[in-house]
Amino acid sequence: MKLLKNILQTLPDGKVLDVRIGLHWTAVVVEVAGVRQCGLASTLSSAHDHHKEPDMPNAGQLDQLSGCELAEMALIGNSLRASVGLAAMNALLPRQPQLWRDDNAEEAIAALGAGKLVALIGSFPFVPSLRQRVGELIVIDQHPQPGDLPAESAMDVLPRSQVVAITGMTLSNHTFESLLAMCNPHAQVVVLGPTTPLSPLLFESGVHVISGSIVTEIDPVLRTVSQGGNFRQVHRAGVRLVNIHKQEIA
């Protein structure tokens, strides 16, 4: 979790205005220097069990914490609290629009992966079209769909892949750094998905492209998250997809 700890040290604090934990997505709204900002993260939850300790012990009082206190939950092993922490981190991150390129993850991976072996950690809706645009695509997922490989395949696939795309959800479940360590040192690495922090510190970890999102219409996004929207619905409600390329800021 060294990367998350380093990002936390760069965050300004802010007042927590709202926390929404939806079926698929978690959203946190903060106010930083008078500006309202929203961050997203995929909702990771454990099995429903009334007899266990609550996943969120201070539910109903999260807005009494500071933004940084909420963001520190990203370091907690509990999946749900880590989701809230990543969403808070993404809300607090300083906006650097001069670094953003309006583009999506599929385009970035396709450009890097033409004629190459590409490993994708996490299953995404664009897999069928991406498969036609790269040399070979191997999808690895904790819950593999037909044609995917299970998570334990990463040890074999990543060292020989020329391009590796890793879902930002691995930052929530704290597997990101172990996956990165498996990659060939010459591989081009993309981190993708709305959970991904748009922080240049990822480049210091060996990442080449950061593919994330910015919430542009906060209230419609909050409503959609609260009502169980998937990412396509949340995107339409008011999310901008952006990429940051290491080579363009070096």
Is residue 19, in this structure, part of any structural domain at all? Answer: yes
Pairing of the two strands 163-167 and 239-245: unpaired
User: Could you tell me if 67 and 19 lie in one domain?
Assistant: yes
Is residue 231, in this structure, part of any structural domain at all? Answer: no
Distance of CA 114 to the CA centre of its chain: 24
- pLDDT at res. 56: 82
User: Could you tell me if 122 and 191 lie in one domain?
Assistant: yes
The tokens of 190 are what? 């993309």
pTM of the model: 0.94
Q: What is the mean pLDDT of residues 67-76?
A: 96
Of 61, 95, 129, which residue is a domain's last?
A: 95
The model's confidence at residue 129, banded by pLDDT at 50, 70 and 90, is very high
Range of the domain at 69: 2-95
Give the chain's mean pLDDT: 94
User: Could you tell me if 90 and 104 lie in one domain?
Assistant: no
The phi and psi torsions of 62 (rounded to 5 degrees) equal -65, -30
- pLDDT at res. 20: 97
HEC readout, the chain: CHHHHHHHHCCCCCEEEEEEECCCEEEEEEEECCEEEEEEEECCCCCCCCCCCCCCCCCCCHHHCEHHHHHHHHHCCCHHHHHHHHHHHHHHCCCCHHHCEECCHHHHHHHHHCCCEEEEECCCCCHHHHHCCCCEEEEEECCCCCCCEEHHHHHHHHHHCCEEEEECHHHHCCCHHHHHHHCCCCCEEEEECCCCCCCHHHHHHCCCEEEEEEECCHHHHHHHHHCCCCHHHHHHHHEEEEEEEHHHHC
Return the sign of the alpha-carbon dihedral for residues 218, 219, 225, 226: positive
Is residue 111, in this structure, part of any structural domain at all? Answer: yes
- pLDDT at res. 35: 97
- Residue 103: give its domain's CATH number: 3.40.50.11590
Query: What percent of the chain lies above the pLDDT cut of 90?
Result: 88
Q: What is the mean pLDDT of residues 105-113?
A: 97
- pLDDT at res. 240: 98
- pLDDT at res. 161: 98
- pLDDT at res. 248: 85
User: Could you tell me if 42 and 156 lie in one domain?
Assistant: no
Q: Over the stretch 88-99, which tens digit does the pLDDT of each residue have?
A: 999 999 999 999
Q: Over the stretch 194-216, which tens digit does the pLDDT of each residue have?
A: 999 999 999 999 999 999 999 99
Is residue 23, in this structure, part of any structural domain at all? Answer: yes
Q: Is the pLDDT of residue 50 over 80?
A: no
Residue 201 vs residue 250, higher pLDDT: 201
How many structural domains compose the chain? 2
Q: What is the mean pLDDT of residues 73-82?
A: 89
